A = this chain, B = another copy of it.
Amino acid sequence: MATATPAIDFWFTTGSTYTYLAVMRLPTVERETGIAFRWRPFHLRAILQEMNHVPFADKPAKEAYMWRDLERRAGLRGVPAPRVPAPYPVRNLALSDRLAVLGVREGWGPEFVRAAYRRWFGLGQEMGGEPNVSDSLREAGQDPARVLALAEGDEIGRALKAETAAARGLGLFGSPSFVVGREVFWGDDRLEDAISWLRHSAVQRP
């Protein structure tokens, strides 16, 4: 190709609640803008633990607000209304992050992640747990036995660790984060800012 498709790095962890809004609306955004999003799963929890930061833990007012905000914003973003609160925090997050890494590598990552978020926020099935994992893999056309064996292996563990190190290097501390060059935009509510930056090197009104 003569011209590269403009692209934004979409960094995320599968344990993040607000990331639901981003994963569900990205197909529409890609279609409407012609921008490609490179899915970059990373293990945010490792970074937050280093920061001694656990979002919402022991902060009931803030957690209650987050669910309400997410619920209200789903309408704004045109994504299915979430059943809130969904099971949170996610216990086996390392597994779903590993599956996302493997899926992105093999090409079924976005489909799997969206299926898993739909089950988490639509059916109340915890991300990273059963039956969410196996059903979402099957929906993405994958054999759970094959994929789980790979995802739990050393190679994917190393790949997730490398991506997490890259995220740390960019100064990421939340999910979703959109990165254009070295410019970081944190939160589904900054997606439009990232698009503006890609187009104009400035955050401006559309």
By size class, the interface of chain A is 20 to 34
Max chain B Cβ within 10 angstroms of own Cβ: one of A59, A190, A203: A203
Take A72-B193, A76-B193 as given contacts and tell me if A61 and B173 are in contact as well, using a CB distance cutoff of 8 Å: yes
**Is A75 a contact partner of B202 (Cβ separation < 8 A)?**
yes
Interface membership of A1, Cβ < 8 A: no
Query: Can you list, as one digit per residue, whether each of A175-202 has a CB less than 8 Å from chain B (1) or not (0)?
Result: 0000000011110011001000100001
Give how many copies assemble into the complex: 2
Q: Per-position contact with B for A39-67: 1 when CB-CB < 8 Å, else 0?
A: 00000000000011100001101101100
Interface string of A138-182 (1 = CB under 8 A from B): 000000000000000000000000000000000111100000000
Q: Is A25 interfacial (CB-CB < 8 Å)?
A: no
- Smallest CB–CB gap between A42 and chain B, Å? 14
Which residues of A come within 8 Å of B, CB atoms? 51-53, 58-59, 61-62, 64-65, 68-69, 72-73, 75-76, 171-174, 183-186, 189-190, 193, 197, 202-205
Rounded to whole Å, the gap between the CB of A184 and the closest CB of chain B is 6
Enumerate chain B residues within 8 angstroms of A174, measured Cβ to Cβ: 62
Q: A203 and B75: CB pair below 8 A?
A: yes
